[in-house]
Amino acid sequence: MSTTASSFVCSPVASASSGCLLPPSKHGAAPTMAKLQGRRLSCRAAATAGSGGDDSVVRRNIDRRDVLFGLTGFAAVTTTNLGLALAADADAGAAAEPLCATVPITAEVLKCNAEGGFHCPAEYDATKVVDFSSLPLPSGPPRVRRPAHKLDDEYIKKFEEAVRRMKELDDEDPRSFKNQSGIHEAYCDAHYRVVSAASPEVNFDVHYSSIFAPWHRMYIYFFERILGDLIGDPTFGLPYWNWDSPEGMIMPSIFANESSPLYDELRTPEHVRAFMDLNLGPAKQPNLPEPECTDDILCLIDNNLYSMYRQMTVDTPEEFHGGKFCTAGKKYTGSLENGAHTAAHIWVGKDMGNLRTAARDPVFYSNHSNVDRMWHLRSTKLGMPDLPYQEWLDTSFVFYDETKRPVRIRVQDVLDTSKLGYRFEEKKKLEWMQKRPKPSSEIKRPFIAQRSVTPASAFPVPLKKGQNEYVTVERPEKAQAGGGSSKKAPEVLVLDLTVDPCEYVKFDVLVNVPRGQEDKVGPKNSEFAGSFTHVPHGGGDGGRMMETQEVSYRLKLREIIEDLKCGRDKRLDFTIVPVAGEKTLVNSVRIDIL
């Protein structure tokens, strides 16, 4: 059940502040992306403007991107990448939720594209693939993954030696560091396509869906086994970057030694030895005072813990993991991907700050070791279930193991880390578990008369840094009747977005904050619903073209409604605060009951 504040159809009347830049058809409907097929956008072309070469070609690519994102002051039309027409009734302010067309994802339906000289992961002989479920369970002591900032000298030497040997392997060896980092680039930068008789060919990316967590667990599982085999230590565990704990919120020093194979010179220098910001990344929201905080570092740590609480305590597995991988329809990203994981990528920057190059930085693997730990903690410490549907459980990929043997591994094979032969060294206290945000005491709340729901014709809305956007959304009647406290039917705010895959995107969402008082709210406050973030894609090599990215994100409202005592309200006010990114469109905002 959902109540919609907008539709995917923009106003047929073009003006300086609303309407469609692209002309409507004779029936008044805006052109869909189906009519724009072939107009893919080159990240590389946009990035190299003014740097030589055929500038006219570069300019055309940029202009076309600007047209699609409405950068001339008009709102641009958006639908799905595949041109799936979305039924909408702009007059009634209702939009139909597009169906998520799916194809079971296995190695057989994925094809790597080597355009532009890209080095696809090593091919394997299908007749030699071994099924992971047929292999014996691990025996002997489990591998122990430890916090990277607490490693002793002996362990550091093992880690460095293992990575050094991996980097010394021949580039054609599937275990080599070049091949291992290339696996991430291939699966995370749209080098793979879904090729199936049941669906048109579409780009495949393990992000923005529930495939994110299990694919990365598989990936670093085999990476870890290769490292241990190279140093002859089957008990070697991949250290994790413990950014959810105060003492781990600085990049571990083992990665800052310039003479170490763990070093990467392509990082943001000012962030290498600074406390990271899990909420804001490199962009800063202006005028965010902390009146009761006298120590900036302590305040930053506190905000990080509040952000971790929001990320980890979402109500449903869909909110945490994301939705199904759609071959047609919108993709839903989860809080595990969108939260601290993305913040760490952006914070380290340079190589880590782009999905094309992220795995070239050794800190990437410790970042994802902690992401894997977050999933493990949610399943064990918090006792939350995983997704139940069989299509997710049957999703499979083929990876090379430490013996160069191709192994097919399924999501259902990796749900229990003990069956994978590793565990996490854990401290007793997880500080973020006690960091439920509280209402701001700084906000003055005047009486607000009956508000009008934001009309469908106001969307899509281009986000511009420094220009807040205000949306009023009607709550489902069922939620109003229950006072907003039902755990069985939790409310979520859903934002349907179009993002530019080439740029870093970040915006915050506030709830029931009067205009002009946005600077009185931060991650520690109930009014701060959370943030959306996006790690840039590289756009591939050789000028490979990329499409715009359609994605939706859910923000948990249940506790916010309880804390702000607005469970009987018919409508909620939301403020969208753009922090970074100049080519983001908000296509729809609504409240759903899950």
Lowest mean pLDDT among 20-34, 283-297, 390-404, 427-441: 20-34
pLDDT range class, residue 101, cuts 50, 70, 90:
confident
Which pLDDT score is estimated for 94? 40
Mean pLDDT of 472-501: 80
What distance lies between CA 101 and its chain's CA centroid?
A: 21
Dihedral sign (CA 120, 124, 125, 130): negative
Residue 546 CA to residue 65 CA, distance in Å, equals 11
Q: Where in the chain is the domain with CATH 1.10.1280.10?
A: 107-434
CATH superfamily of 107-434: Di-copper center containing domain from catechol oxidase (1.10.1280.10)
Reading the block at residue 101, the tokens are 């067309």
User: Is residue 9 scored above 50 in pLDDT?
Assistant: no
Which pLDDT score is estimated for 481? 60
Which pLDDT score is estimated for 480? 67
pLDDT range class, residue 283, cuts 50, 70, 90:
very low
Pairing, β 571-580 against β 469-474 = antiparallel
* DSSP code, position 342: H
**Cα torsion through 394, 338, 345, 243, rounded to 10:** -100
pLDDT range class, residue 594, cuts 50, 70, 90:
confident
| DSSP state letters, 273-319 | TSB--TTTTTS--SS---TT---HHHHHHHHHHHHHHHHH--SSHHH
User: Is residue 138 scored above 50 in pLDDT?
Assistant: yes
| pTM reported for the whole predicted model | 0.85
Mean pLDDT of 392-421: 97
Which pLDDT score is estimated for 152? 97
> Do 216 and 368 touch, CB atoms closer than 8 A?
yes
User: Is residue 517 scored above 80 in pLDDT?
Assistant: yes
- From the list 310, 303, 307, the residue with the least C-alpha distance to 492 is 310
* DSSP code, position 388: -
Residue 267 CA to residue 407 CA, distance in Å, equals 34
Residue 344 CA to residue 336 CA, distance in Å, equals 12
Which pLDDT score is estimated for 201? 86
- From the list 20, 22, 77, the residue with the least C-alpha distance to 550 is 77
Express each pLDDT in 165-196 by its tens digit: 999 999 999 999 999 999 999 999 889 999 98
Mean pLDDT of 111-131: 89
- What percentage of the chain has pLDDT greater than the value 90? 65
Burial state string for 325-350 with b = 16 or more CB within 10 A and e = fewer than 16 = bbbbbbbbbbbbbbbbbbbbbbbbbb
Reading the block at residue 396, the tokens are 């499979």
User: Is residue 33 scored above 80 in pLDDT?
Assistant: no
User: Is residue 289 scored above 80 in pLDDT?
Assistant: no
Higher pLDDT: 568 or 225? It is 225
Residue 247: phi and psi, rounded to 5, are -75, -10
Residue 320 C-beta-side C-alpha neighbours within 13 Å: 23
Which pLDDT score is estimated for 193? 92
**Can you point out the beta strands (E) in 164-211?**
192-196, 199-204
Residue 424 C-beta-side C-alpha neighbours within 13 Å: 22
pLDDT range class, residue 351, cuts 50, 70, 90:
very high
Cis peptide before 23 (omega within 30 of 0): no
Which pLDDT score is estimated for 63? 47
Which pLDDT score is estimated for 83? 29
